[in-house]
A and B are shown apart, each in its own frame.
Chain A
Amino acid sequence: MKTFTANITVTLRRAILDVQGKAVENALHSLHMPGFSDVRIGKHIELSIQATDAEAASAQLREACDKLLTNPVMEDYHFTLNETAAVEAA
């Protein structure tokens, strides 16, 4: 078994108005930072997974995202997966 750490980013689907992002964008503009646009606010989830390999870890993660961590009606997600270096090998 290997240990992986995952970083998951969850955002509202593009078709849904992100009112938090819009409010933050307006705040940036009011701070005289007009160059910012398309601000989107989301969620960041970190977790560790035990799995035989990266493919198995990804499959577990996708199941968790589809079932609990995100709601596909309103959210999209993507993640990165990194194998945690075993302490013994150091």
Chain B
Amino acid sequence: MNIGVVTFPGSNCDADARHASALTGNTVHSLWHKDTALPSGLDVIILPGGFSYGDYLRTGAIARFSPIMTEVVRFANAGGLVFGICNGFQILCEAGLLPGALIRNQHLSFVCKDVFLRVENTDTPFTNICSPGQVLRVPVAHGEGRYTASADVIKGLEDSAQVLYRYVTPDGQVTDEANPNGSLNNIAGVTNAARNVMGLMPHPERACELLLGSDDGLTVFLSLARHCNVSVA
């Protein structure tokens, strides 16, 4: 696959995203926030984690108006696969490519630790190699990750299986204790109605090698490869 990773001023997980993309055999393209065109033949665009524009005003609020975002929105609207991780998720919400918003953690603290995620829908480009209900171990690192949306939007997401990952206990139970930030319904990751855009607060790109404690994050990259009919050694 051809994966483009966008770097905004203040991105700090772009190198990790490129590394994880390369680990799974992909051709990686570094994209700059000022770019006004995308390389031809891109399969996936990743908006990485970090603190784009210093999180000034709101997380993702200024990055969404970066020149490259016009192209990212066009790419997504044409069916291209877009994956926002952490700050990338916040940017996708600000850009209106995903519903809802991410606000200050309920306990007001930055949270940096491994969490457990339950895969809620395996019929998407991002989760197709997972088994239903599979529990993944992946780290979070954020201060503003509490997913919120109006009751109507949350109901719509639940009814149409757009919640892809939920924070759970190691044995897959949805509890308040397993929720690191107070997200509604323990939501960690969602997709859009067309299922080609995903936002995820935890960092699968930091969990792609057993040396780092878990390689469960590979599931996202391997699912994307399967979706694109690419075999990965």
Contacts and interface: CB of A to CB of B under 8 A. Distances in A.
Interface string B137-157: 000000000001111000000
B101 A71 contact: yes
B58 A71 contact: yes
For chain A, the bracket of interface size reads 10 to 19
Interface in A7-64: 12, 15-17, 19-20, 23
A73 B61 contact: no
Contact of A12 (B57, B65, B103): B103
A20 B103 CA distance: 11
A73 B94 CA distance: 9
Contacts of A15: 150-151
B106 A16 contact: no
Contact of B101 (A17, A23, A74): A74
Nearest to B59: A71
B25 interface: no
Contacts of B150: 15, 73
Interface in B16-63: 57-58, 61-62
Contacts of A19: 104-108, 182
Contacts of B62: 68
Nearest to A74: B101
A69 interface: yes
A32 to B, nearest CB: 23
Contacts of A17: 106, 182
B198 interface: no
B115 interface: no
A20 B182 CA distance: 13
A41 B182 CA distance: 18
B108 A73 contact: no
Scoring B57, B61, B62, B93 by chain A CB atoms within 10 A of each residue's CB, the highest score goes to: B57
B183 to A, nearest CB: 12
30 contacts: A12-B103, A15-B151, A16-B103, A16-B148, A17-B106, A19-B105, A19-B106, A19-B107, A19-B108, A19-B182, A20-B108, A23-B108, A68-B57, A68-B61, A68-B62, A68-B65, A69-B57, A71-B58, A71-B61, A71-B94, A71-B101, A73-B93, A73-B99, A73-B100, A73-B101, A73-B148, A73-B149, A74-B101, A74-B103, A74-B148
Contacts of A68: 57, 61-62, 65
Contacts of A71: 58, 61, 94, 101
